Amino acid sequence: MPSLENCFTPFKTDISGISIPEKFTFPIFYEPHELSLIATRELQEYLEQPQNWQHNFWNEKTGAGEAAGKMFGVLVVQNEKGELGYLSAFSGQIDGTMDIHPFVPAAYVEDFDKSYCDGQFKEFTKLSHQVTTLEQTPEYITALNHLQKLKEEALILLETQRKKHKLQSRELKAQLKQSSKTLDEQELKQLKALQHQQHLNQKFLYREYEIYLLEKQQPFQVIVDQYQSQMEALTTQRRQQSLDLQDWIFKQYDLLNANGERKNVLEIFNELNLGAPPASTGDCAAPKLLQYAFAKALKPIALAEFWWGKSSKSQIRKHKQFYPACRSKCEPILGHMLQGLDVEDNPLLINPGLNKTMEVIYEDEAIIIVNKPEEFLSVPGKTIKDSVYSRLKELYPDATGPILVHRLDMSTSGILVATKNLEYYHFIQEQFINRTISKRYVALLSGVLENNEGMIELPLRVDLDNRPTQLVCYEYGKSARTKYQVLERREKETLVHFYPITGRTHQLRVHAAHASGLNAPIVGDDLYGTATNRLHLHAEFIKFIHPITHKAVSFKAPAPF
């Protein structure tokens, strides 16, 4: 392992007139400080220069592997002389290494025994090779082929036998029905006994035939079981050794905080009862930067992370766009590493609905229609209780409801439907389930669309590393469909109607922003685009069957943008 070399980069830009922030950046939700913006610009100028890296950030045709962007970070720091500069880092590896000057090195201990890891990986390769060798053994392949063939034949033969017995049973029933007209009671009783015995004989013969076919398979089954038992044992051994190595690696990430205290990744996750840390925890830019700063007695001032290059096919990442630290890997360990620093308040704990007005636009004995403001919860959250639901409870303290039939994202404004009891709730909820509800949203998109209308079909699932954001995933994602129609084209923006066919989390936001969707994020989308004064997405119209009149009713709340 190379020692911690000097990665402190002085500012090229004159920053003498810029004040140092009073508190350090809250890394999960932030607006970059001016110093972070300058450091980012200088780093990006460096990245635009030719480098000796083979990593392909952009074009799949460069011959350097499939294009893949990467998260970079800057940490503005102050050295012991009081001088300001910044540190740079990238998440993960570039060209198979974490140690590329002037970027800070990996966050694991200086005496990290890479040879131990290499030895373990060689052992994994050896075990995998042994499994492959067993899979390719002629005796195993021959036995497996014979066994599969006999099983397929047995299925056909047994199905033929079942059909034969079924036909015989029908004939016996028909015979019994016909004979019941001419036979006396004793003769009919004897015939029923005979037919019952024939049915038992059929079941016995079928079972005997089944055993006979299994016995034909048995010699091959024994050979296959022997080989597969060996393969399973080797695979289990490899899996356990891999888990042991992962734990060992996590213990090598002995992370510092501003108080000089150390905890490894495994300790942090165990203390928080979070289970096993995700793979590569500790390799993101933010923990690398803080670890280096604390180890070199540099005072952290401000942090920012941005994406550089092409987005992955599942995520939505924009070149040069700032992004917060990830939730699953970074949030737990940054909770430890930031101890001792005066950090900005967590804006996610501040009630965004404070002083916002919630308008009830319609009410009768069954339903309540609300026009929800933007940045206001539909239902109470873990820490913030103020919401549409809680305010409706205050407005209608004597009602058995109100019960929200559906929800809107906190950032989305517009129409919400509530009912005054459970019976009416189920009546309208069924319409949502059956997709007979008509809904329409208005959205302002960042970009000018070419087509006037169309359908977006991109399956979605939650990003397990960064909840609540969503990924496009064709393997595990749920079907998500959105119809759109252009209303107006502006200089750099497009106003559209969205008609969601399904109702997945963040569906409209992802379908708008993703490269395989409209490739035009909703203006103000802080998750999939660029934050502004608000998310320009509004639930404008809804139509459904009323639970009492059983007639169609519709409601509209014009978009406030």
Could you give the residue numbers annotated as active site? Answer: 409
DSSP codes, 230-269: HHHHHHHHHHHHHHHHHHHHHHH-EEE-TTS-EEEHHHHH
The sign one gets for the Cα dihedral 121, 125, 127, 131 is positive
Contacts of residue 323, defined as CB under 8 A and 6 or more positions apart, other chains included, come to 71, 305, 306, 307, 317
362-399 burial, b at 16+ Cβ within 10 Å, e below that, comes to eeeebbbbbbbbbbbbbeeeeebebbbbebbeeebeee
DSSP-based three-state secondary structure for 553: strand
Give me 372's structure tokens: 């929800």
CB 510 within 8 A of CB 517: yes
In sequence order, which residues have a C-beta less than 8 Å from that of residue 393 and are 6 or more positions away? 402
From residue 91, alpha-carbon distances to 9, 108, 111, 242, 252 in Å are 19, 14, 21, 22, 17
- Write the DSSP string, 307-335: EESPPPSSS---TT-B-PPPTTTHHHHHH
User: What DSSP assignment string belongs to 136-165?
Assistant: T-HHHHHHHHHHHHHHHHHHHHHHHHHHHH
Output the six-digit token pair for 120: 């373990």
Degrees, nearest 5: CA angle 439-440-446: 145
- Coil, strand, or helix at residue 77? strand
Q: What is the dihedral of CA 26, 27, 30, 36, to 10 degrees?
A: 100
- The alpha-helical segments, DSSP class H, found in 6-109 are 34-47
DSSP 530-545: ---SS--EEEEEEEEE
DSSP string covering 342-387: -BPP-GGGS-TTTTPPPEEEEE-SSEEEEEEPSS--SS--SS---S
Element (DSSP H or E) covering residue 482: strand 481-489
| Tokens, residue 192 | 């029923």
Rounded CA gap, 393 and 373, in Å? Answer: 17
Residue 452 neighbours by CB under 8 Å, 6+ apart: 485, 486
Look at residues 469, 447, 536 and name the one whose alpha carbon lies nearest to residue 323. Answer: 469
Sequence-separated (6 or more) residues with CB below 8 Å from residue 143: 220, 223, 224, 227
End-to-end CA distance of the chain: 56
Tally of CB atoms within 10 A around 310: 19
